[in-house]
Structure 1
């Protein structure tokens, strides 16, 4: 050994004379008779082993053992009772005694051997012990990711190594010279709260910590009880059984990252080899702090780039249910119209269009990104407002601190504006060939482009005549006022505007135009104009023709029909005055006259439909429309049998006041074109889902398949018919207007069935 070992002998017999065997074994023996005396000695002097020889004056040996273990958990304690027993031996060893040697004349050598072995139980080669410590710390430092983790693993590893009892790391502040603890481990009992440490030239800077900061070297105190420079901290250190200490600077490239302070519960621990190894350890810890600081700098720079990046960045995490957004930058959130908090932990598919989501999952795009096989591609995202966002995506695997792939780094470049610009450019390429006038105006309403057609429409030779001028040059005062009040506000709100206007040509003449204004992203808009002078002239001709047709319709429906009814009336009277063959001629006049009257009625109805500008419908009761027409036709054709199968459903259908004409024409057609010996017509109706089907069946000759579709065409006559075909044409026109369908089926065993299907109006819609 490099020094004599100190043994504290606690003897309750009051002799205070140490056993001869201990002194002859070259131990420096100190004696006391009480537990209190033993604790005082331990608090003020260095002790390598305690020998307890109960009973004691103020307690038993077990009490002393417990008190020693509370303050000196690693100090060897050998039990040396006056009266030993197996029970006491078991209890003492169970309470933490290092060894048990009963006091008797023949056990002196055994006591020396027990004390020697107890003291020797600490590592006999400090260099190997510290090398093991350094390796343990180095292994832990590899996994440390923060400065706090480094400090914690260092302090914990040190206090787990004999004979170190306490360790702490201090932060040196160059501005005021103070050292502030930032991590600690081991038996401390408020030590750091009771001391002041500095490196400012004051009295509290002459300890090992202050000297280490100044020298950037390991500074030690081998004997705290006797070291004069340790006076400011001695009492607090001895109270906690600190007997020696070392301050190790944590330095890398002349940068001090803190000071590590290590305390041992015995003196003389920090010899030259140990100090050299601790110096290397300090450099290792300093390098680890340097690495973490650089990493934190890189991470800070990366985080700043991540936050401020002009492109959209999202960090995703792989889960069993698909990728989720773990974090995103401000640009990503802003483009999607959401906050970052709203987007975190949401499935990535929430911000993808349906097509892009299929590519992500079903198309294995995410798996390829996790494997590092993803190639740059376009992806369409969806904002929280539902708008489409075109992007260019690059995705790479994202790893955690352990190196495991946990998700992806996804970078999106917004292509929406670029695609919109490309679309505009594509449009420009076609503009010169367009027959429409096309102009692009800026946010102030000034032309920045116009095609040749635009110039031609307004009577200018060169489209450059518009560039730099506003749209106001192309309109009169009234139109400018209307545009300022109606059109410009809509454009400023980002809305499209379409409508008609009156433009003003270069020569001052006005012309009607169709005008389309579409906003673009820079605040301007695209103007498309078409001269509709010819269309307006055509519309006026149509209006004139419609007026003429209306006049003709009135002539047919009123004048001609009234004259025909007069003819039929007089012919009916002539029946009473004509006999023989002449009566047949009169009957033919009456029949033809009646047919002509019906034809004028049908023609009037067809004209009414054709002259209607809009097809406005309303809920109309089906039962009333069908049954009334059955009664009318039944009264007109007394030789025919019209029957109803079941009840006509009391439902409403979308129609107008001409709905009855549909069924009257079909019923009349079924009777007139029936050559059976007894003309029979059966009407039935049924509701299925949201439609009602009315079936009008006859026992006539039937209709060939190749004519079932053509029979409804304008002017198509029935089989062997001398009629006009207007009735069935009117039927199909009206049914189509009502949103329904009409078709012909075969009746069994003979005849035809006309089926009319119409949508049923919900009763709630009638209110």
Structure 2
């Protein structure tokens, strides 16, 4: 807060301290200046002094708590609740005494009794002020965190766009030079390293494009019905044509419909592409898609006989953030994780040597009714 608010807050604490001091002083003087003889029993001393002690402890504790948590600027919150509690409870006590007086009852020291009600109300008010201050601090902390997150997201988006543009531009230059170098060789005599250079460059261009698509899709948090069964069946047909050396099989319920984020179809493509990424090691691929849990869940399992998912990529399904072992090559699996999380599903890469990926998604309503 600014200096003006700080001064106002300090004055609020001064008001609390002065009012409390006056109440406690009156209560103590009641005993020390000749009125203690009306309280002959020990319990009378306890009852008479308890409000003063409680109020003193409450005021000191409130000030120490506020200062220890940088909440000094909430002095007016404490002050308002303190005065409100004292006035309300004090007025209630005075009204109660007035009613008793009208009934003919003899009242002993009504001012002193009213003062105890006022002090009790002050204690209650300070506690309510403490609760209200914590609520305000939590709300302001959440607002600051939200603003920081939005600012960070905007900054990352700008950096991402700039990097993608620069990567695409520079890689197109690299590909142009590679084509020029290829012109110096006869057909069939081009070095293998030059072709590898082209493959790597094209791969990075595709990666930048995939990052652009994923960023655009992630801007929408809505979920909708996704015909995962039909999509997987279509993709398996394409894989059989594109990878004739791989035995692609599947048990796919084409009526399976999940409730998911629109990134989900791209994520399923990433799962299948990851499974057949190295056809030299993968000879079989089996995909299962079925509705389980009495129609509540769509379960997708992808198995292959390849070398398995590297440990650095496997932790993607568990870690909160990217680890040093993970890099841009794993963006496909990160896409899977983001899509499944936004679809309120689960994603497991497994811990064994086999290349198993299991995804569980909430089934869409129509799918549940058909299962029943």
TM-score bracket, normalised by the shorter chain, equals 0.5 to 0.7
The partner residue of 1:548 within 136, 155, 174 is 155
**Counterpart check, 1:734 vs 2:339:** yes
Q: Provide the C-alpha distance between the structure 1 equivalents of 2:159 and 2:289, rounded to a whole number of angstroms.
A: 38
What's the TM-score, normalizing by structure 2? 0.54
Higher relative contact order (CA 8 A, sep 6+): 2
Larger radius of gyration: 1
**Counterpart check, 1:650 vs 2:255:** yes
Q: How does 1:305-384 map to 2 (within 5 A)?
A: none
Alignment check: 8 A CA contact 1:687 1:693 kept: yes
**Counterpart check, 1:585 vs 2:183:** no
**Counterpart check, 1:617 vs 2:223:** yes
Q: Provide the C-alpha distance between the structure 1 equivalents of 2:81 and 2:157, rounded to a whole number of angstroms.
A: 47
1:621 deviation in Å? 1.3
Could you say what secondary structure the match of 1:560 adopts? helix
What's the TM-score, normalizing by structure 1? 0.29
1:746 deviation in Å? 8.5
Alignment check: 8 A CA contact 2:313 2:325 kept: no
Could you say what secondary structure the match of 2:361 adopts? strand
1:433 deviation in Å? 4.8
Q: Provide the C-alpha distance between the structure 1 equivalents of 2:205 and 2:304, rounded to a whole number of angstroms.
A: 25
- Greater per-residue strand proportion: 1
Alignment check: 8 A CA contact 2:314 2:351 kept: no
The partner residue of 1:432 within 56, 61, 76 is 61
Query: Deviation string for 1:287-306 (max 9, x for gaps)?
Result: xxxxxxxxxxxxxxxxxxxx
**In structure 2, do the counterparts of structure 1 residues 560 and 468 end up closer, same or farther at CA, with 3 Å as the change threshold?**
same
Alignment check: 8 A CA contact 2:307 2:354 kept: yes
The equivalent of 1:102 in structure 2 is none
**Counterpart check, 1:687 vs 2:294:** no
Could you say what secondary structure the match of 1:725 adopts? helix
Alpha-carbon RMSD across the aligned residues, in angstroms, is 4.7
1:666 deviation in Å? 1.5
Alignment check: 8 A CA contact 2:249 2:287 kept: yes
**In structure 2, do the counterparts of structure 1 residues 755 and 551 end up closer, same or farther at CA, with 3 Å as the change threshold?**
same
Q: Provide the C-alpha distance between the structure 2 equivalents of 1:565 and 1:430, rounded to a whole number of angstroms.
A: 71
The equivalent of 2:6 in structure 1 is none
The equivalent of 1:111 in structure 2 is none
1:658 deviation in Å? 0.7
Bigger shift: residues 567-576 or 755-764: 567-576
Equivalent residue pairs, number: 263
1:552 deviation in Å? 2.1
Q: How does 1:505-654 map to 2 (within 5 A)?
A: 526=128, 528-529=132-133, 530-531=136-137, 536=143, 539-558=146-165, 560-561=167-168, 564=171, 567-568=174-175, 571=178, 575=182, 578-579=185-186, 582-604=190-212, 607=215, 612=219, 615-627=221-233, 629-630=235-236, 638=243, 641=246, 643-654=248-259
The equivalent of 2:29 in structure 1 is none
Alignment check: 8 A CA contact 2:300 2:359 kept: yes
Q: Provide the C-alpha distance between the structure 2 equivalents of 1:430 and 1:695, rounded to a whole number of angstroms.
A: 62
Q: Provide the C-alpha distance between the structure 2 equivalents of 1:583 and 1:724, rounded to a whole number of angstroms.
A: 25
**In structure 2, do the counterparts of structure 1 residues 543 and 454 end up closer, same or farther at CA, with 3 Å as the change threshold?**
closer
Unpaired runs of 5+ in structure 2?
Answer: 1-53, 86-123
**In structure 2, do the counterparts of structure 1 residues 436 and 621 end up closer, same or farther at CA, with 3 Å as the change threshold?**
farther
1:598 deviation in Å? 3.1
Alignment check: 8 A CA contact 2:256 2:289 kept: no
Q: How does 1:669-684 map to 2 (within 5 A)?
A: 669-676=274-281, 679-684=283-288
Q: Provide the C-alpha distance between the structure 2 equivalents of 1:623 and 1:753, rounded to a whole number of angstroms.
A: 19
Unpaired runs of 5+ in structure 1?
Answer: 1-424, 438-450, 471-521
Alignment check: 8 A CA contact 1:696 1:753 kept: yes
Q: Provide the C-alpha distance between the structure 1 equivalents of 2:80 and 2:343, rounded to a whole number of angstroms.
A: 52
Alignment check: 8 A CA contact 2:229 2:289 kept: no
**Counterpart check, 1:753 vs 2:365:** no
The equivalent of 2:271 in structure 1 is 666
The equivalent of 1:457 in structure 2 is 73
Q: How does 1:49-198 map to 2 (within 5 A)?
A: none
Could you say what secondary structure the match of 1:650 adopts? coil
Q: Provide the C-alpha distance between the structure 2 equivalents of 1:650 and 1:434, rounded to a whole number of angstroms.
A: 65
